[in-house]
Structure 1
Amino acid sequence: MTSATATPVPTAAARRTAPGRVTFGSLVRAEWISLTSLRSTLFSWIIGTVLVILPAGAFAAVYGAQYTDSGQDPAMLEWLPSVGDISMNGFFFAIAMAVVIGSAAFAKEHTTGSLRTVLSAAPKRFGVISAKALVVATATFVATLVAFALAFAAAWFVGGAFGLPTGIDDAVLGAIMPIVGAGIFAAATAVFTLGVAAMLRSETWAVTSALVFVFILPMILATLPWTWGAEVSDVLLGTTGQNLVVAHPAITGELVVDLVLTIAWGAVAFFGGAAVMKRRDA
């Protein structure tokens, strides 16, 4: 006589915790925890924010003092920058912050070996680097918006103490769009550096390469005695991103092209890093 044995039916909880069923949402949460747990990330955010605010307040004080010393001469208003332009003087530090964060998001995990642990739980490498890019871009975008909003407030407050007019006729074009543009520039740069870090697998080389590509290469090309040098410089990330930070009298086709190119540079480096990550061992 034989007895039938019951086959255990996997419960919903067991199915949810089965290996290989890691969702993209869980990857995003894990990457957020990983990013915010890095002390270098927190220090970069804090130091970057301070360095964005300080130039805004300092330049507002300098221009305000000149305006006061002139007896508030209306003729000075023809060349004095607006409060919005003054608040953008620290954009270099915001982009440097984005480079550090984008590089650390991949290179530190690769160096410590924790990337292997992540890939053992989530073998689909494109999903892993996509989660990193989403977290890095979102965090950098929000942090940059906050930093430049505070910089604008500092420039407005310090300039107002000297009686300096804001010089802004349209709040959207003169203040909001440059701040949002700075956020997009920083987010694209962070994703760009993340992709470079995935390709080079070195934090030092990723940071160096990104800074050279964003800041130095456009200047070198622009100074060449050939017209193609300036033309190439105009489409590089450093140039298109800076154009988003400047206040424009209207939304033009050139501004839209700069926006598309800025995002495209981040996408190109991201897909390049994803391709290299897929072919190489962690």
Structure 2
Amino acid sequence: MTTPPTTPATPVTTAVRAQVTEPRARFRDLVAAEWVKLWSLRSTLWAFVFSALAVIGFNVGTAWDEYRYWSAADTRSRAGFIRDGIPLSIAFTANAAMILMLALSAIGATAIVGEYRTGLIRTTFAAVPARRSVMAAKAGVVTAVTTVFGAVVSAASFGLTQAVLSARHAGVSIDHPGALRVVAASALLAPVSALVGMALGAVIRHSAATMVASVGILLLLPLVFSADRHWAAVVDHALPAGAWDRLVAVGHQPVAYPSTVTGAWIVYAVWAVVAAAVAVTSVRRRDQ
């Protein structure tokens, strides 16, 4: 009895494996997945809502105080109100900027730390081994969402505060010198802060420690370094808060070492790019 000839299994097996091999995930698919993950938590929406209300509330509250006590101001103060750029300083106050930086850095950190805390990041990387692409998609989604958020909050703050001041004939329009820069700088402070929080979260991977680091970099360091000494001024101008201060400043800066508007925009860009790069590359150097 003869044994029937057998066909080589290798080509067939290779062909079958080629057919069942899943296609590589496209970047737009990763972006869509990160979008779903960002909004899958109800806390994300509420964080944005409460942050917006707090920021706008601080700004409008400051404008309302000016409206209430307008009659108590002397004639000279009223005459120089617009000339001195006070309406623009009220359009987005320093307190509102601090709240924005704190809230948005927390949102950016949560976008990555939450996945490490729940272990979802392991599932994500098991499904998509291209870790840098995953983190790039996450950074892109966070940047886009927080930029829109910052634009809405900044524009709303400007419109509402100037509407309140206009009742005293003290408001300015968006085409007033420096007004558009104040709105743009305040809007872009949101994605910069979110990316800083995300980068720190990708490196530290612990909620409490990440928040402490975010507060230290975004809020505490600007209080330590002032522009009265050259070396301290260099550090202050290189921080996001220092760059925002310069961009929203109107007229002469009463400091020994003032920065430039161009330099402040560069600081914004460098912080955003470096933070995104840290978030993307950190997953390749550490075990998950």
Report matched runs for 1:37-48 at 5 Å. Answer: 37-48=40-51
Q: Which of 187, 200, 224 is residue 220 of structure 1 equivalent to?
A: 224
CA 1:245–1:44: 2 relative to 1, 3 Å:
farther
After TM superposition, the structure 1 stretch with the greater mean CA deviation from structure 2, 77-86 or 38-47, is: 77-86
Deviation at 1:140, TM superposition (A): 0.7
Deviation at 1:254, TM superposition (A): 2.0
After TM superposition, the structure 1 stretch with the greater mean CA deviation from structure 2, 203-212 or 100-109, is: 203-212
Name the TM-score, length of structure 1 as normaliser: 0.84
CA distance in 2, matches of 1:231, 1:135: 32
CA 1:107–1:158: 2 relative to 1, 3 Å:
same
CA 1:54–1:127: 2 relative to 1, 3 Å:
same
1:203 to 2:221 alignment:
no
Contact 1:196/1:206 (8 A) holds in 2? yes
Q: Which of 121, 139, 144 is residue 145 of structure 2 equivalent to?
A: 139
Report matched runs for 1:58-137 at 5 Å. Answer: 58-70=61-73, 73=75, 75-79=77-81, 81-89=85-93, 90-137=96-143
Name the TM-score, length of structure 2 as normaliser: 0.82
Amino acid at match of 2:97: F
1:260 to 2:262 alignment:
no
Contact 1:24/1:127 (8 A) holds in 2? yes
Q: Which of 258, 267, 280 is residue 274 of structure 1 equivalent to?
A: 280
CA RMSD of aligned residues (A): 3.2
Q: After superposition, what is the alpha-carbon deviation per residue over 1:199-231, rounded to whole angstroms, capped at 9, x for unaligned?
A: 1011221121112111111221228x8631222
Contact 1:196/1:270 (8 A) holds in 2? no
Amino acid at match of 2:187: G
Paired residues in the alignment total: 272
CA 1:247–1:140: 2 relative to 1, 3 Å:
farther
Q: Which runs of 5+ in 2 are unaligned?
A: 253-258
Q: Which runs of 5+ in 1 are unaligned?
A: none
Deviation at 1:69, TM superposition (A): 4.1
Contact 2:237/2:264 (8 A) holds in 1? no
Identity fraction in percent = 23
Amino acid at match of 2:51: G
After TM superposition, the structure 1 stretch with the greater mean CA deviation from structure 2, 130-139 or 91-100, is: 91-100
Deviation at 1:20, TM superposition (A): 5.4
CA distance in 1, matches of 2:287, 2:6: 50
Corresponding residue for residue 241 of structure 1: 244
Task: Give the secondary structure class of the aligned counterpart of 1:222.
Answer: coil
CA distance in 1, matches of 2:34, 2:60: 35
Q: After superposition, what is the alpha-carbon deviation per residue over 1:42-87, rounded to whole angstroms, capped at 9, x for unaligned?
A: 122111110111122211111122223458x364231465433212
CA distance in 1, matches of 2:177, 2:134: 37
Q: After superposition, what is the alpha-carbon deviation per residue over 1:119-160, rounded to whole angstroms, capped at 9, x for unaligned?
A: 112111111111111111111111111112111222122223
Larger radius of gyration: 2
Corresponding residue for residue 175 of structure 2: 171
